[in-house]
Amino acid sequence: MTGLLVVEQLLNGLQLGVMLFLVAAGLTLVFGIMNLVNLAHGSLYMVGAYFAVAFLGWTGSFAAAVVLALLATLAVGMLVEVVALRTLYERDHLDQVLATFGLILFFNEAVAIVWGRAALFASVPPALGGFVELLPGLRYPVYRAVIILVGLAVALLLYVVVSRTRLGMLIRAGASNRTMVAALGVNIRLLYTIVFGFGAALAGLGGLMAGPIYTVQPGMGEELLIEVLVVIVIGGIGSIRGALVGAVVVGMVDTLGRAFLKPMLATVVSPAAADSAGPALASMLIYILMAAVLYFRPQGLFPAARS
Amino acid sequence: MTSRRRALTMAVALAALAAVPLAAAALNQPFYLDLFRRIMIFAIAAVSLDIILGYGGMVSLGHAAYLGIGAYAVAIPALHGLHSAWLQWPLAMALSGLAALVIGAVSLRTSGVYFIMITLAFAQMLYYVGISIEPWGGDDGMRLPGRSRLGGPLDLGDPHVFYYVVLAILAVLLLAGERVIHARFGTVIRAVKSNEARLQAIGVASFRYKLAVFVLAGAVCGLAGALLANQTEYLTPSYMHWTRSGDIMVMVILGGMGTLAGPVLGAAAFLLLENVLSAWTVHWQAILGPLLVLVVLYARGGLWSLVPGGGARDG
């Protein structure tokens, strides 16, 4: 029985991991290529979740809501890039932090104006409801299983796009030498806008899938964003492979810590002490992990090659 | 600008702050006493951040952590009946200095964007710890059993006395900051910002200096946290929330980083703006956010550079 519980929590950890990866991928790409620290990336995750809820109410179809929400988040991302972020690429990180902090304030408030401050309820689509029996005795929610599959599929797709296609080649070239790529006749500004838009859409995908599991409310993006920052610091900033490994590791450590740390502590110290120390310690685990990784490898596990 | 004119401007500003309680009494608006005390407390926090950010070039996005630790260092002893400020405030500085030592020892090994993210992550970790410790208020926070006791005639329960105590601390901080920045220690810190490699080449172990100033800034911000707990008479983990770190950083930039008076001015401008906008609409952050983007994009020197005699950074 305990074995099955561990497997179930491992799956939950993987599910959190792919969710973190969807947001981390865009953030790490934008940093690796445009050298931009975008704290407002979590806002795009939030916007994706809200769009999905709104379009679901409007069309009544989950599939249509997903497509429309992805397109809308893509558009919002590109708009933000053109209006505000484009001028920040050449600025130092401090300016980028401050300006994107301003964007977060704006997005959180804009969402509150349109949809209100209270958390919205997003339901699991009926077609993906219910459970699937993965192992004898292990029933796992279909919806979470689908999230894992979608996340892994996106990871694979991203790998193929970046390493095997012409767009991916331009992206890699733009990361290593922007001026040279522009000199060869590539419209680098357009390329940046496209990359930013797709990063936004990936974050939006994470957000719209997260809706039915977590709560949809203003500020939901930042809670995730901090964990995503831990992910890309561990994985190495600018590296997609690092983002994937970091996301899965952080997802696992966080989920397993929250599930098992308290009962494990209770076997060592008194149950009362475990009750109060367990949750505190569990919430610290991923940061301790980050500190440990940095101590041995200050550039993360997979430092991206930068010129 | 000469240090003499700078000292004069600073003296005028402090005199103006000293006159606020009189003006508030004359206008029969005790609210302003409260607001300006809050401004000065955040000014102390902003100056402490500016010492590492503006002078040392260390972009720490986790400075609110020390604010929170300082507040806890007041509230927890008070919960156990220990109300002396002479215990609580040094404890606030010692504990937040210690936290800065641990955070700095890890994060200062890195630089640039890693440093930003790591300081942010550690502060957020402390925020989550604060949320999960129920005996100390947990998510909801808790009321402070009573304000710190300085002893003698200095009763912080009297809003005027409390106001002048905060003003005195701010004045001492500005004077001490002026001395430190132009001493050898401060020169090394400013050199770290302009060219750390060269500093190391001439044989200065820069890491130790960076860590020392990081701890110093943390301890000062811890004192601001102790004052903030007294100001609100409430303890909540949200003092450590990362948006608070962002607010303090905005104050520094808005006022003008790399100066001592700038953050004070920035704290005043930020909190007054917040006060005016929030009276106007509940959605004031939808205005503040884009305003912030515009300031970053187009107004780089900060407000202090507009003040006559403010001018360039003193560094």
Distance CA A94, CA A226 (A): 17
Distance CA A109, CA A91 (A): 26
Distance CA B150, CA B291 (A): 41
Q: What confidence score (pLDDT) does residue A307 get?
A: 36
B92 to chain A, closest Cα gap in Å: 21
Q: Cα A235–A239–A241 angle (5° rounding)? A: 75
What token pair was written down for A16?
């959190």
pLDDT above 80 for A304 = no
pLDDT in tens, chain B (315 residues): 467 777 787 888 889 899 988 888 888 888 889 999 999 999 999 999 999 999 999 999 999 999 999 999 999 999 898 989 999 999 999 999 999 999 999 899 888 888 998 899 899 999 988 988 888 888 888 888 888 888 878 888 888 999 999 999 999 999 999 899 989 999 999 998 888 889 888 888 889 999 999 999 999 999 999 999 999 999 999 999 988 999 999 999 988 888 888 899 999 999 999 999 988 888 888 888 888 888 888 877 777 777 765 554 444
Distance CA A253, CA A9 (A): 10
**Beta carbons of A276 and B289 less than 8 Å apart:** no
Q: Could you tell me which residue, A179 or B37, shows the higher pLDDT? A: B37
Instruction: Compare all CA atoms of chain B with the CA of A280 and give the residue at the minimum distance.
Output: B129
Q: What confidence score (pLDDT) does residue B308 get?
A: 62
B214 to chain A, closest Cα gap in Å: 17
Phi, psi values for residue B143, rounded to 5°: -75, 145
Q: What confidence score (pLDDT) does residue A1 get?
A: 52
| Torsion angle in degrees (nearest 10) through CA of A16, A21, A23, A28 | 150
DSSP letter (8 states) at residue B234: E
Cβ atoms of residues B123 and B49 within 8 Å: no
Structure confidence by residue, pLDDT tens digits, A260-290 = 888 888 887 777 777 777 888 888 889 889 8
Determine the 3-state secondary structure of B246 from DSSP: helix
A267 to chain B, closest Cα gap in Å: 20
**Beta carbons of A93 and B59 less than 8 Å apart:** yes
What percent of chain A has pLDDT above 70?
98
Instruction: Compare all CA atoms of chain A with the CA of B60 and give the residue at the minimum distance.
Output: A94
Determine the 3-state secondary structure of A218 from DSSP: coil
Structure confidence by residue, pLDDT tens digits, A96-150 = 999 999 999 999 999 999 998 888 887 888 878 888 877 777 888 888 999 999 9
**For chain A, which residues lie within 8 Å of any Cβ of chain B, measuring from their own Cβ?**
31, 37, 84, 87-88, 91, 93-95, 97-99, 101-110, 112-113, 222, 226, 229-230, 232-233, 237, 276, 279-280, 282-284, 287, 290-291, 294-295, 298-299
A75 to chain B, closest Cα gap in Å: 19
Distance CA A73, CA A26 (A): 13
Mutate to test the interface with A, among B296, B297, B300 (most CBs of A within 10 A): B296
Q: Which residues of A touch B292 (CB under 8 A)?
A: 98-99, 101-102, 105
Q: What confidence score (pLDDT) does residue B2 get?
A: 61
Q: What confidence score (pLDDT) does residue B100 get?
A: 96
DSSP letter (8 states) at residue A91: S
Q: Which residues of B touch A229 (CB under 8 A)?
A: 117, 120-121
Q: How far is CA A116 from the centre of its chain?
A: 24
Mean pLDDT, chain A, integer: 87
Indicate the residue of A93, A233, A280 with minimum beta-carbon distance to B133: A280
Structure confidence by residue, pLDDT tens digits, A181-226 = 888 888 888 888 999 999 999 999 999 998 888 889 898 888 889 8
CA distances in angstroms from B286 to A296, B242, B294, listed in the order given: 42, 18, 13
Instruction: Compare all CA atoms of chain B with the CA of A109 and give the residue at the minimum distance.
Output: B286
B26 to chain A, closest Cα gap in Å: 37
Q: How far is CA A294 from the centre of its chain?
A: 21
Q: What confidence score (pLDDT) does residue B58 get?
A: 92
Cβ atoms of residues B241 and B156 within 8 Å: no
Give Dmax (Cα) for chain B: 60
Mutate to test the interface with B, among A94, A103, A231, A254 (most CBs of B within 10 A): A94
Mutate to test the interface with B, among A103, A287, A290, A294 (most CBs of B within 10 A): A287
Mean pLDDT over A34-46 rounds to 91
Indicate the residue of B135, B284, B292 with minimum beta-carbon distance to A276: B135
Distance CA A246, CA A294 (A): 13
pLDDT above 90 for A17 = yes
Helix (H) or strand (E) holding B261: helix B261-280
Q: What confidence score (pLDDT) does residue B205 get?
A: 86
Q: Which of B258, B169, A102, B289 is nearest to B266 (CA)?
A: B258
Q: How far is CA A80 from the centre of its chain?
A: 18
CB pairs under 8 A between A and B: 124
Indicate the residue of B53, B61, B289 with minimum beta-carbon distance to A103: B289
From the number of C-beta atoms within 10 Å of its C-beta (0-12, 13-18, 19+), residue A108 rates as buried
